[in-house]
Amino acid sequence: MTAPTAQRTYRTVNPATGELVREWDFLDDAALEARLAAAHRAFREWREVPVEEKAALFVRIADLIESNLDRLARQTTLEMGKVLPHSLGEGGGAVAMFRYYAKHGADLLADEEVEVGGFSKMVVRREPVGVVLGVEPWNAPLFQAMRATAPNLMLGNTVMVKPAEICAGSTLMFDELFREAGFPEGAYQTILVSTDQVSTLIADDRVRAVTLTGSDRAGSIVGEQASRHIKPVVLELGGSDAFIVLDSADVARAAGTAATCRLLLGGQACALPKRLIVTEGVADEFTAAFVALFTDQVIGDPFDPATTLGPMSSEAAADLLQAQYDDAVAKGATVLAAGGRMDGPGAFFRPAVLTGITPGMRVYREEAFGPLGLIFRVPDADAAVELANDNQYGLGGAVFGEPEEARAVARRLDTGGVGVNGFLGSPVEIPFGGTKRSGVGRELGRSGMDQFANIKTYGYA
């Protein structure tokens, strides 16, 4: 395997203080080969385990994650900076995933019988393919790693997860829990590898599929490599979700939902609303309510129960958001609430709200990853749909208004999902993914297994 040529360590830096917490070395080539060989061996054993036994192990791992939730959440908050309740909620999502597949795995994997002339019986069966490589992000390391893992393990695949380099500690904690739960050695592994080593893994015949959650740039690279080796890939990439508020909306409810969702995980998640598109009849009322709620935050130590907004994940993330904010202001955006980088240690960013966004500004096209509110005023629902779809991303969205009108608008949005009078998010029971540069494929629900299943047909004459 190719040795890493760039940074040779994973580094956890506390974003609230700027202090180095810990470093981990990359796996060397021999160690990585041993890990891959173990995953390949485990697949031969794991694929033969009956679904009922898999379900029992899923209940066991869910119980272990739940009993270790405080420890997992504290590590995530230390590494990523979001407030502790958000980390606890993320870990709870991982628990829910395993409980869902434990309960429904047998039904999701049940044979489908189809009547075909000339055959006495035709069966469509979902079978595993082998080792799945997951390349996962820093913003929700507990949830994202398990979103790649749970459906594939239930199917019978084995999983190797590469975490983001700033939050290795969170994902590594899962390895001990899977061992304690009784999963075969190598069924799940966290691997600390370089981007060059990821490319080598994708090229290896023992790795049969790849899933990535990250930037569209990273997705383009991984997608190209996977296609070169003719391997299925799921890419869950960026989002600049539209949150549409129509004249018929319950404005107070819409503003409250928008402010709450915009600040989840410190505003650093692909599926959070980024563009608030409001029709003229309620624009003033919505703007006043949103700005008051969005900026009314206690900023500080993410472990302090009184804190509602911690630091951003890194100095680099905060600097990027500041550059986007400064660009918009310099090009004429109206500042409804001034914010930006805060003095002192840490990657803190005071929430800011802008309106008057025009196509020449970076935030018109780019994903604003952090506590920056962008309000667009439009004359009517048609203009709202046009603006919502005028974007390179198509992950999710929300429409608030009279139910029938809101549903009609939702049907016109070019996205992978949409919430009507509510925030959709990423429930474990339903497919999650987007269109356009938001990626290809789906995670969770039945789709989470179908993406990397050999959907095999048996015909009996």
CATH of residue 106: 3.40.605.10
Mean pLDDT, to the nearest integer, of 110-119?
93
Supply the pLDDT for residue 4: 32
Same domain membership, residue 354 and residue 207: no
Q: Is the pLDDT of residue 248 over 90?
A: yes
Residue 359 CB-half CA count within 13 A: 4
Q: Which two tokens stand for residue 212?
A: 């990535």
380 in any annotated domain: yes
Question: What is the C-alpha to C-alpha distance for residues 210 and 232, in angstroms, rounded to an integer?
Answer: 7
296 and 406 in a single domain? The answer is yes
State the average pLDDT for the chain.
95
User: What distances in angstroms separate CA 420 from CA 107, 238, 433, one per listed residue?
Assistant: 29, 21, 17
* Residue 5 clears pLDDT 90, i.e. is over it: no
pLDDT (average), residues 276-297: 98
pLDDT reading at 1 higher than 50: no
> Would you say residue 4 lies in a domain?
no
Question: 428 lies in a domain?
Answer: no
Query: Three-state SS across 387-429?
Result: HHHCCCEECCEEEECCHHHHHHHHHCCCCCCCEECCCCCCCCC
The residues pairing with 213 across neighbouring beta strands, listed in sequence order, are 236
Residue 3: pLDDT band (50, 70, 90) is very low
Residues 6+ apart with CB under 8 A from 416: 394, 395, 396, 431, 432, 433, 434, 435, 438, 442
163 is a domain residue: yes
Least confident residue range of 4-13, 97-106, 237-246, 417-426: 4-13
Residues 220 and 110 in one domain: yes
> Based on the structure, what is the number of domains in the chain?
2
Domain hosting residue 370, numbered range: 241-420
Q: Does 147 reside within a domain?
A: yes
Residues 29 and 138 in one domain: yes
Residue 430 lies in a domain: no
Distances (CA, A) of 186 to 24, 45, 130, 420: 20, 10, 12, 42
431 inside domain: no
What pLDDT is attached to residue 9?
83
Mean pLDDT on 272-277: 96
Mean pLDDT in residue range 156-171: 96
- Tokens 């004359």 map to which residue? 379
**Do 455 and 331 share a domain, yes or no?**
no
State whether 285 and 186 are in the same domain.
no
- pLDDT digit string, tens, across residues 183-242: 999 999 999 999 999 999 999 999 999 999 999 899 999 999 999 999 999 999 999 999
Domain presence at residue 292: yes
For residue 8, name the pLDDT band (cuts at 50, 70, 90): low
Please report the pLDDT score of residue 281 as a whole number. Answer: 98
259 lies in the same domain as 299: yes
Residue 388 pLDDT more than 50? yes
Output the pLDDT for position 20. 95
The mean per-residue pLDDT over the stretch 350-358 comes to 98
The residue among 158, 165, 197 whose CA lies nearest residue 54 is: 158
- What is the number of alpha carbons within 13 Å of residue 49 lying toward its C-beta? 23
Candidate from 2-16, 74-88, 108-122, 208-222 with smallest mean pLDDT: 2-16
pLDDT band at residue 329, thresholds of 50, 70 and 90?
very high
Asked if 73 and 87 touch (Cβ cutoff 8 Å), the reply is yes
Q: How far apart are CA 389 and CA 413, in angstroms?
A: 6
pLDDT of 280? 97
Task: Return d(Cα 152, Cα 146) in angstroms, integer.
Answer: 10
Q: In this structure, are 228 and 245 located in the same domain?
A: no
Residues 111 and 201 in one domain: yes
Over residues 39-49, mean pLDDT: 98
Query: Angle 242-247-252 (CA atoms, 0-180°, nearest 5)?
Result: 75
Active-site residue set:
236, 270
Which three-class secondary structure string do you get for the chain?
Answer: CCCCCCCCEEEEECCCCCCEEEEEECCCHHHHHHHHHHHHHHHHHHCCCCHHHHHHHHHHHHHHHHHCHHHHHHHHHHHHCCCHHHHHHHHHHHHHHHHHHHHHHHHHCCCEECCCCCCCEEEEEEEECCEEEEECCCCCHHHHHHHHHHHHHHHCCEEEEECCCCCHHHHHHHHHHHHHHCCCCCCEEECCCCHHHHHHHHHCCCEEEEEEECCHHHHHHHHHHHHHCCCCEEEECCCCEEEEECCCCCHHHHHHHHHHHHCHHHHCCCCCEEEEEEEHHHHHHHHHHHHHHHHCCCECCCCCCCCCECCCCCHHHHHHHHHHHHHHHHCCCEEEECCEECCCCCCCEECEEEECCCCCCHHHHCCCCCCEEEEEEECCHHHHHHHHHCCCEECCEEEECCHHHHHHHHHCCCCCCCEECCCCCCCCCCCECCEECCEECCECCCHHHHCCEEEEEEEEC
Answer yes or no: is pLDDT of 82 > 50: yes
Asked if 119 and 258 sit in the same domain, the reply is: no
CB neighbourhood size of 176 (10 A): 11
The answer on pLDDT for 122 being more than 70 is: yes
* 139 and 168 share one domain: yes
Same domain, 54 and 180: yes
CA–CA gap between residue 197 and residue 331 (Å, rounded): 42
Q: Find the CATH number of the domain harbouring 397.
A: 3.40.309.10
Q: Which residues 6+ apart lie within 8 Å of 141 measured at CB? A: 76, 79, 80, 163, 164, 167, 170, 171
Q: Which amino acid is at 233?
A: V
